[in-house]
Structure 1
Amino acid sequence: MAIGSSHDLKVGQKVLAIGNPFGLDYSLTGGVISALDRTIPSDEGRTIEHLIQTDAAINPGNSGGPLIDSAGRVIGMNTAIFSPSGNFAGIGFAVPVDTINRVVPRLIAYGRYVRPTLGIVTDRDLSRRLLERGGVAGVLVLQVQEGSPAARAGLKAAVIGRDGDLAAADIIVGVDGREVDSVERLVELLDAYRVGDKVILRIHRDGQLIEVDVVLG
């Protein structure tokens, strides 16, 4: 089976799902791509991002099977459904094949998925509260870990005043020209890189915008 790509998929495109629902081997169902870049919660309380949503019937036993396009190319891996009953209700999800192509080599090489990191500690709620107070939309650098890529690049951690307010802080607002407005967005952008890659961070510092080169760890 040929491997396709998922970066150029379109809503409405015809797709086919293969799997073993309820133990029925080699079942084929058809449908269309209902939406792209979906995010859903996992059973562990985390989120699964960038999913393909499809109305092709996916039931327990389909997980791990391929989602293919009309030319027979694999474009995703069937992963989850949204259903109050636990059975197919018209909404299924698949991991895009481009994500699989990026993740699987790291699993083979390291035995686990190694995310590239900056070596900073952030706080979603604090970043959000700063924005609500008229601050900059971005990711607050709460701490910089010693010896980390961020430390080597000179990123500055937040300074908390005696009254508990932020006296100063670096706020990450972009990665290689792409906007960062949340912790989730920062993780999403960095996930497209490999350990050792260099990125250009756009930083809001002391009322000014600066750019900093960082080699990911």
Structure 2
Amino acid sequence: MIKNDLISLRAVELDDATRLYQWENDMRLWRVSNTLTPFSRYQMEQYVKSAQTDIYQTGQLRLMIDLLKDKAVSETVGIMDLFDFDAYHQRAGVGVMIHENWREQGVASSALALLIQYAFGVLGLHQIYCNIQASNAVSLKLFTSAGFQLIGVKKDWVRTGDGFEDELMLQLIKTGARSEFQKWEFRRAPGTDACGDE
């Protein structure tokens, strides 16, 4: 279990199927999750069973966010996702959903901080990224406060009831990573020329 004093991030369990069924079928969230059709209970149960598969096999990892009280779980309040996991290029996308009753209380920033530590420290990722609709000021604040930088704008990317909206791509590169120049720089040993010959 990945945790701090406020929350823990844990693997999806069979008991989470009903909660996920409710959250994934909340049409207010479909706009940010690119969902167009409802999920059945059966689909959620099958998903939960398959969620136990290793991130290196599926390319994704869903973690449940549990609120802690006196070091014990008091309530499951959200989801953190790693998706498009690429072990070779050492990168993954990040998504977060906090139940509306627990938003703007520091839960998302605490969960994101834990996920960043896990992604860089345990999975050995070099970078993580997220895609945020331009109108989603709360998510933009969350990710930029965690050090994510805006790296691109996808124009008219998301269809809305009023037309189309831009989607922003943000990225966080692991601090302490070597620069491109340092990565390819050859070190000259004493008494040798640039090719290593004496």
Structure with more of its chain in helix, by fraction: 2
Give the TM bin, normalised by the shorter chain.
under 0.3
TM-score between both structures, scaled by the size of structure 2: 0.26
